[in-house]
């Protein structure tokens, strides 16, 4: 600031009094147009100024980036380019789009590293596109975001609670529903398929961080169609399997586990974990992407039921994205709004989940590092003997 003061900016120009805190002084300085122009030129501050401007541009343009990605996903661009690179004209023809519009989309996708030019005219997968081409789970997650964007069209109306049950609330039929056990199959079908499609990514994180071989019987609560216990079964061949979910989801799990040849190793239980007791007999209970869907009182009920269903010393495993985790700094911004639009739940830090676990009678809470905390963090805890 002093260096700047000698040439372009004098601190007194900023009208910053001694009474202000350091944060306020800095806010005022960074908001000062002359200071910003100086910082953009001064060699030591230039990279910072550029980085900030770039970050602000990305925030402003984020919605457009997401729509470019959404359009590519709807046109199945990544699967297409995995087969072979193609020109804009070929793709325009396949998509029944005017050639200049297809080119516009491809140029946007190229700027976002989703595709890249191979030679003068052919497009191939870019560094981010390769990650999507063979990942149907991620593609399905991206595709369902059009529901979220519809709900976020007026974020202030959403924050004020003026929007009522939106597209995501309808998609996640159990969210904010007083009688979720009465939901028909058609109300759980789409979210169950979405969860199944993306489960392999989460299961890999969870099972690498916390291998299940040391356990005898796993109960997966809110276990969806059984994709997680199927992955656990593959990792731990001696593990017995149990699953608890809403009646129509449990029925789907029964069928899927049968198809996978796991019927003899697995028992499936239907019910409402906010009202019913959980079945006993497991030495480990997993809650995968379940707690963040529910408010604290409901989480206390679910964990209480898990505690009662476990023997003393039994393990509970919580697997979900947790806020405040290193490597996943933006989670709050995303999940905070996502769950608000969905109409139930909130993102929680590992510390907050730990508090809820302790309040429910769990001890020895441990964090298990995952390689992709954006997908999931993992906490384990033991049922206290005295409860």
Reduce the DSSP state of residue 49 to 3 states and report it. helix
CA 250 to chain centre: 23
Nearer to ligand SAM, 108 or 284 (CB): 284
- Please, what is the minimum distance in Å from the beta carbon of residue 320 to ligand SAM? 8
Interface residue with ligand SAM, options 199, 240, 325, 370 (CB under 6 A): 199
Count of residues of this chain found to bind ligand SAM when the rule CB under 6 A is applied: 20
Nearer to ligand SAM, 228 or 338 (CB): 228
Distance CA 288, CA 355 (A): 18
- Please, what is the minimum distance in Å from the beta carbon of residue 202 to ligand SAM? 6
Provide the 10 A C-beta neighbour count for residue 12: 8
- Please, what is the minimum distance in Å from the beta carbon of residue 371 to ligand SAM? 18
**Residue 290 contacts ligand SAM per CB under 6 A:** yes
**Residue 224 contacts ligand SAM per CB under 6 A:** yes
Footprint of ligand SAM on residues 163-192 (CB under 6 A)?
Answer: 174, 180, 188
Nearer to ligand SAM, 129 or 169 (CB): 169
Q: Which residues have C-beta within 8 Å of that of residue 2, sequence separation ≥ 6?
A: 11
262: left (phi over 0), alpha (psi -120 to 50) or beta: alpha
**Residue 81 contacts ligand SAM per CB under 6 A:** no
**Residue 222 contacts ligand SAM per CB under 6 A:** yes
Footprint of ligand SAM on residues 38-57 (CB under 6 A)?
Answer: none
What's 371's DSSP letter? S
The greatest distance separating any two alpha carbons of the chain, rounded to the nearest whole angstrom, comes to 80
Reduce the DSSP state of residue 321 to 3 states and report it. coil
Nearer to ligand SAM, 257 or 288 (CB): 288
Kindly indicate which of the ranges 44-52, 56-64, 153-161, 285-293 contains the residues binding ligand SAM, using the contact rule CB under 6 A. Answer: 285-293
Interface residue with ligand SAM, options 9, 91, 152, 245 (CB under 6 A): 245
**Residue 249 contacts ligand SAM per CB under 6 A:** yes
Helix H or strand E segment including 207: helix 185-209
Helix H or strand E segment including 317: strand 315-320
Interface residue with ligand SAM, options 273, 335, 338, 362 (CB under 6 A): 273
Cα-Cα-Cα-Cα dihedral sign, residues 81, 84, 85, 86: negative
**Residue 152 contacts ligand SAM per CB under 6 A:** no
Distance CA 127, CA 208 (A): 25
Distance CA 241, CA 226 (A): 10
- Please, what is the minimum distance in Å from the beta carbon of residue 340 to ligand SAM? 16
When computed from its CA atoms, the radius of gyration of the chain, rounded to whole angstroms, is 25
**Residue 246 contacts ligand SAM per CB under 6 A:** yes
Closest CA to 301 of 272, 342, 336: 272
**Residue 272 contacts ligand SAM per CB under 6 A:** yes
Nearer to ligand SAM, 231 or 310 (CB): 231
Distance CA 271, CA 245 (A): 6
Interface residue with ligand SAM, options 114, 202, 209, 375 (CB under 6 A): 202
Distance CA 265, CA 9 (A): 74
Q: Which residues have C-beta within 8 Å of that of residue 17, sequence separation ≥ 6?
A: none
**Residue 293 contacts ligand SAM per CB under 6 A:** yes
**Residue 354 contacts ligand SAM per CB under 6 A:** no
Helix H or strand E segment including 260: none
Distance CA 287, CA 317 (A): 6
Q: Which two tokens stand for residue 264?
A: 């003899």
**Residue 195 contacts ligand SAM per CB under 6 A:** yes
Closest residue to bound ligand SAM by CB: 222
Task: Confirm if 321 and 328 have CB atoms less than 8 A apart.
Answer: yes
Kindly indicate which of the ranges 2-10, 142-150, 195-203, 363-371 contains the residues binding ligand SAM, using the contact rule CB under 6 A. Answer: 195-203
Kindly indicate which of the ranges 19-27, 100-108, 217-225, 360-368 contains the residues binding ligand SAM, using the contact rule CB under 6 A. Answer: 217-225
- Please, what is the minimum distance in Å from the beta carbon of residue 215 to ligand SAM? 17
Q: Which residues bind ligand SAM (CB under 6 A)?
A: 174, 180, 188, 195, 199, 202, 222-224, 228, 245-246, 249, 272-274, 288-290, 293
């Amino acid at each position: 600031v002093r260096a700047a003061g000698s040439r372009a900016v004098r601190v007194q120009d900023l009208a910053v009094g001694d009474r202000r805190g350091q944060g306020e002084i800095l806010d005022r300085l960074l908001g000062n147009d002359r200071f910003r122009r100086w910082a953009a030129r001064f060699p030591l501050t230039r990279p910072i100024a550029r980085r900030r401007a770039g970050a602000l541009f990305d925030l402003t343009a984020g919605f457009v980036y997401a729509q470019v990605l959404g359009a590519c996903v709807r046109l199945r661009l990544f699967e297409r380019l995995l087969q072979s690179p193609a020109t804009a004209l070929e793709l325009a023809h396949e998509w029944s789009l005017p050639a200049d519009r297809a080119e516009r989309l491809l140029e946007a996708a190229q700027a976002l590293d989703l595709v890249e030019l191979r030679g003068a005219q052919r497009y191939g997968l870019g560094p981010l596109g390769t990650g999507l081409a063979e990942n149907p789970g991620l593609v399905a997650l991206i595709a369902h975001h059009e529901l979220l964007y519809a709900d976020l069209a007026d974020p202030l109306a959403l924050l004020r609670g003026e929007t009522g049950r939106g597209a995501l609330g309808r998609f996640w039929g159990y969210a904010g529903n007083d009688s979720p056990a009465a939901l028909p199959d058609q109300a759980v079908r789409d979210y169950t398929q979405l969860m199944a499609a993306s489960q392999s990514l989460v299961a890999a994180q969870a099972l690498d961080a916390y291998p299940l071989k040391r356990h005898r019987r796993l109960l997966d609560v809110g276990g969806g169609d059984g994709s997680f216990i199927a992955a656990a079964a593959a990792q731990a061949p001696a593990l017995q399997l149990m699953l608890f979910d809403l009646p129509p989801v449990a029925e789907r799990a029964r069928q899927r586990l049968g198809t996978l040849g796991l019927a003899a190793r697995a028992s499936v239980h239907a019910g409402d974990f906010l009202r019913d007791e959980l079945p006993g007999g497991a030495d480990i209970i997993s809650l995968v992407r379940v707690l963040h869907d529910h408010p604290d009182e409901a989480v206390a009920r679910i964990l209480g039921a898990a505690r009662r269903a476990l023997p003393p010393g039994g393990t509970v495993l919580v697997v979900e994205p947790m806020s405040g985790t290193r490597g996943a700094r933006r989670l709050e911004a995303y999940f905070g709004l996502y769950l608000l639009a969905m109409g139930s739940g909130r993102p929680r830090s590992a510390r907050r989940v730990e508090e809820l676990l302790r309040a429910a009678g769990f001890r020895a809470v441990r964090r298990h590092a995952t390689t992709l905390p954006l997908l999931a963090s993992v906490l384990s805890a033991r049922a206290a003997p005295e409860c």
